[in-house]
Amino acid sequence: MKIFGITGWKNSGKTGLMERLVAHFAAKGLRVSTLKHTHHSVDLERPGTDTHRHREAGAQEVVLASSARVSILHELRETDEPRLTDLIARLTPCDLVLVEGFKSAPHPKIEAHRASAGEALLAPKNHTIRAVASDTPLPALGLPVFDLDDTDAIAAFIEVATGMTPRSAPKLANDCFALPPGVNWTPVDEALETLESRLSPITGTEMIPVADARDRILASDHMAARANPPGANAAVDGYGFAYAGLPDGDNIKVPLVDGRAAAGTPFSGTVPMGHAIRILTGALLPDGVDTVVMQEDVQVDGSIISFPAGVKPGANARAAGEDVAAGKLALPAGHKMRAPDVALLSALGIADAEVHARLRVGVLSTGDELAEPGTTLDVARTYDANRPMLLSLAENWGYLPVDLGHVADDRDKLRQAFDDAATKADVILTSGGASAGDEDHVSALLEQTGSLHHWRIAIKPGRPLALAQWNGTPVFGLPGNPVAALITTLIFARPAFSKLAGGPWLTPQAFDLPAAFSKSKKAGRREYLRARLNKDGHAEVFKSEGSGRISGLSWATGLVELPDEALKITPGTPVRFLPYTGFGLT
Ligand code: AMP
Ligand code: MG
C-alpha cells in the first residue's frame, strides 16, 4: 500500500485538500483509504448507545455493523497514542492511504499552508514534508510549492513520490555506446571511462519500509528525523552527578539520592549538587547530572558512594545528537543499503526509504549447441552455464534477475526474444554470438538497430563486447565462453549496472600481494588470472590459463589483474589481487 500524508496547522486547508485528493484518486479507479489523527479526545459514540455500553463494560474491540458500513472501535487503554504503522496494519489492502495529521510520523507528506491563517511553515524543518500546498506564492524553500487548489498537480506529485507512477527516468542517448573513432583496441580504462560518462539511472523510484531496503539504492538524500542519541544519556552502568558539585580530595564521597535512572525509565526529579544517582547504560541523564562514574570504580556503603579522584568532567556521558544531529544528512542519494544502514535510518526515525526500483536484468543465452544442464548425453551439446551464472550474479547485486531463456542461432527467434526482453527487463545481458563471425547472430541482429558498437577491448580473457540498444533497452552482448563472460561482466557490466540502477560507478576493491607464481606478460592487453591466496597469503594462480577451464573460476577466490604493460613476474613480485567479494560475488 502506498502511504502519503497531508499535514499543516489548524485551518490550513488540509481537510479540504484531503477531500479533493480522495475524490481525484477514487475517480481514477483507485481504492483509497484515509487515516486521520486528532489531538482532542474524541468520543466516537454517544454515551448510552449499545456499543458504548459494551466498551464501558470492558470489551477490547467492538464491531458495529449494518448493511451500509462497519465500524470497529478499539479501546486504547494503556497506550497513549496509536502508532501510524499499527493503524495502517488494520486497514484492508488498498492502493493508497492518505493520512491527515501524524506530522511527526516518518511517511512523506505535503504541508497545507494558508498564509491568512498566519502560522509559520512546518517545512523545511520537518524533513518528511516533501512539498507545500499554499494559497499564496512563497519564497524559495528548496521544496516544490503547489497552489493549494491545484489538485491535479498535487495528485501527480503524490503519484511520483509514492512510486505509483515511477519517476520518469531519461532514456539513454541513442549513441551512448559509441567509442572514439580511430581506436583499434580500446584500453580497459578508456572503455570504463566511456561507460561511466555515458550511463545514467534508468529506473523509477518507490517508497518502501526501511526494514525491507537492504540492497536497494536510495533515490534521494535521507535526513535524520531526530537526533542520535535523542537525549543525553549514560554510556555505562554507574553513578551520575554534576561534576561541579564534587568535593575535593583523593577519595571522593558523595551521598546517593533515592531512585534510579534506567534506559526507558528516566528519573524525573533533579539530582541536587553534591549528590549522585544510580544510573544504568542508556538512561537519560537526569537534571543535575553531567558526569557518570563506572560502577567498577565505585564502593557503595549504604547510601554513600566513594571513588578515587580523577574522573573527567562529562565522563561516560553521551551528548544528545553527538552521533547525528536532527535534520542532518543520514545517507545520500545513490547509497546502496546494507544491514548497518538499515540500523542507522531506523535509529534516526526514518521508517520509509525512497529507493530506485530494482534494476531488472534480463539474461539470454544464445547458440545452437546449448542445452539445459543434464538434459542430454550428446557430446556435441554444451550445457548452458552462463545463464544460471549471470542470473545468480544479478541477484547477488540486488537486482531483479529475469530469465529470458535460451535461443538457438536463428535470427527470427532471436528478434522475438529481444522484443520480449525489452518489455520485461531494463537491461539485457546476452552471451554467445557477439563477435562478427558467420554464426554471430546476436551481433548481426543488433547491427540492424543502428546502435551496435563492437568494443574491441584490450583485455584477456575476452572477445569483443557487443553494446547496443533494443527498443531503447541497453544490451550487453557478452562472449559465450563462460570464463570471458564472467570476467567481462565483473569488469564492465557490474559498474555499468550500478549506474543504470541509480547507484555510483563502482571500482573493484584491490590490494597488492606477493605473487606465488612466475609469468612473463607481453605488452598490449590487461590480463585477469583466476587466483586465490595460498597459506602464506600470497597470490597463486590457477594451473591453466585456458579460457575453457570453468573449474578455475570456481577454484579461485578472486582475480589477479596484470597491467596493460609488459611485466615479468617471479615469486614475491607484488601483483594486484581483486577478491571476488569486492565484486559483490558471494
Ligand atoms: P560464441 O561466443 O557464441 O562463439 O561461443 C564461444 C564459446 O562459448 C563456445 O564454445 C560456446 O559453446 C560457449 N558458450 C556459449 N554460450 C554458452 C553458455 N551459455 N554456457 C556455456 N558455454 C557457452
Ligand atoms: Mg555461439
Distance of CA 57 to the CA centre of its chain: 48
C-alpha cell at 533: 591466496
pLDDT of the residue at 360: 97
Q: In 306-318, which positions are buried (b, 16+ CB within 10 angstroms) versus exposed (e)?
A: ebeeebeeebbbb
Instruction: Please give the chain's pLDDT, 586 residues, in tens.
Output: 889 999 999 888 999 999 999 999 999 999 999 999 887 667 788 889 999 899 889 999 999 999 999 898 888 877 767 878 778 888 898 889 999 999 888 788 999 999 887 788 888 788 789 899 999 888 877 788 899 999 999 998 898 788 676 555 667 888 888 887 766 789 999 999 999 999 999 998 887 889 999 999 999 888 887 889 999 999 999 999 999 999 999 999 999 999 999 999 999 999 999 999 999 999 999 999 999 999 999 999 999 999 999 999 999 999 999 999 887 899 999 999 999 999 999 999 888 888 999 999 999 999 999 999 999 999 999 999 999 999 999 999 999 999 999 999 999 999 999 999 999 999 999 999 888 888 889 999 999 988 888 899 999 998 889 999 999 999 999 999 999 999 999 999 999 999 999 999 999 999 999 999 999 999 999 999 999 999 999 999 999 998 889 999 999 999 999 999 999 999 999 999 999 999 999 8
461 within ligand 1 shell (Cβ under 6 A):
no
370 within ligand 1 shell (Cβ under 6 A):
yes
CA pair distance 458, 185, nearest whole angstrom? 5
Which ligand lies nearest the alpha carbon of 435?
1
443 within ligand 1 shell (Cβ under 6 A):
no
**52 to 68, 71, 72, 77, 79: CA distances (angstroms):** 20, 13, 12, 15, 20
CA pair distance 213, 256, nearest whole angstrom? 47
DSSP 374: T
Which ligand lies nearest the alpha carbon of 478?
1
Pocket probe for ligand 1: among 363, 368, 386, the residue whose CB has the most ligand atoms within 8 Å is 386
CA torsion 561→565→570→572, rounded to 10°?
-60
CA pair distance 312, 393, nearest whole angstrom? 53
pLDDT of the residue at 166: 56
Ligand 1 nearest-atom number relative to CA 484: 8
Are β-strands 222-223 and 360-366 bridged in parallel, bridged antiparallel, or unpaired? unpaired
Q: What is the CA(442)–ligand 2 centre distance, in A?
A: 9
Q: Torsions phi, psi of 390, nearest 5? A: -70, -35
**Residue having the nearest C-alpha atom to atom 17 of ligand 1:** 480
Pocket probe for ligand 1: among 363, 382, 463, 551, the residue whose CB has the most ligand atoms within 8 Å is 382
Q: How many other CB atoms sit within 10 Å of the CB of residue 495?
A: 21
Q: What is the CA(371)–ligand 1 centre distance, in A?
A: 11
CA pair distance 370, 388, nearest whole angstrom? 13
Q: Which of 476, 381, 383 is nearest to 421 (CA)?
A: 476
407 within ligand 1 shell (Cβ under 6 A):
no
Give the residue extent of every domain in the chain: 2-161, 205-227+324-356, 233-318, 360-500, 511-583
* Beta bridge partners of residue 116, listed in sequence order: none
**Residue having the nearest C-alpha atom to atom 14 of ligand 1:** 480
Ligand 1 nearest-atom number relative to CA 369: 12
**489 to 106, 254, 397, 477, 498: CA distances (angstroms):** 39, 67, 12, 10, 12
Q: Torsions phi, psi of 5, nearest 5? A: -120, 155
CATH superfamily of 2-161: P-loop containing nucleotide triphosphate hydrolases (3.40.50.300)
Q: Given the C-alpha cell 579461485, which residue does it identify?
A: 556
Give CATH for domain 205-227+324-356.
3.90.105.10
Pick 360-500's CATH classification: 3.40.50.2300, 3.40.980.10, 3.10.20.30, 3.40.50.300: 3.40.980.10
Cβ neighbors of 238 (< 8 A, separation 6 or more) are 279, 292, 293, 294, 295, 296, 297, 298, 316
CA pair distance 90, 131, nearest whole angstrom? 28
Q: Do residues 282 and 234 make contact, with C-beta atoms less than 8 angstroms apart? A: yes
**Residue having the nearest C-alpha atom to atom 11 of ligand 1:** 480
462 within ligand 1 shell (Cβ under 6 A):
no
Cis peptide before 461 (omega within 30 of 0): yes
Length of the chain: 586
Q: Do residues 216 and 353 make contact, with C-beta atoms less than 8 angstroms apart? A: yes
Architecture field, domain 233-318 = Beta Complex (2.170)
Q: Which of 520, 509, 510 is nearest to 565 (CA)?
A: 520
* Domains 2-161 and 233-318 agree in fold: no
Q: Do residues 107 and 14 make contact, with C-beta atoms less than 8 angstroms apart? A: no
Angle between helix axes 151-161 and 14-27 (nearest 10 degrees) is: 70
Q: Which regions of 168-298 does DSSP assign to beta strands (E)?
A: 205-209, 222-223, 233-234, 238-241, 251-261, 276-279, 291-294
DSSP 297: G
Q: Do residues 119 and 9 make contact, with C-beta atoms less than 8 angstroms apart? A: yes
Burial tier of 343 (Cβ tally within 10 Å: 0-12, 13-18, 19+) = exposed
**Residue having the nearest C-alpha atom to atom 15 of ligand 1:** 480
**Residue having the nearest C-alpha atom to atom 23 of ligand 1:** 480
pLDDT of the residue at 343: 98
pLDDT of the residue at 165: 65
484 within ligand 1 shell (Cβ under 6 A):
no
Residue spans of alpha helices (H) in 143-258: 151-161, 188-198
What's this model's pTM, rounded to 2 decimal places?
A: 0.76
Residue spans of alpha helices (H) in 221-293: none
Pocket probe for ligand 1: among 384, 391, 431, the residue whose CB has the most ligand atoms within 8 Å is 431
488 within ligand 1 shell (Cβ under 6 A):
no
Give me the CATH topology for the region 511-583. Beta-clip (2.40.340)
C-alpha cell at 426: 531494463
482 within ligand 1 shell (Cβ under 6 A):
yes
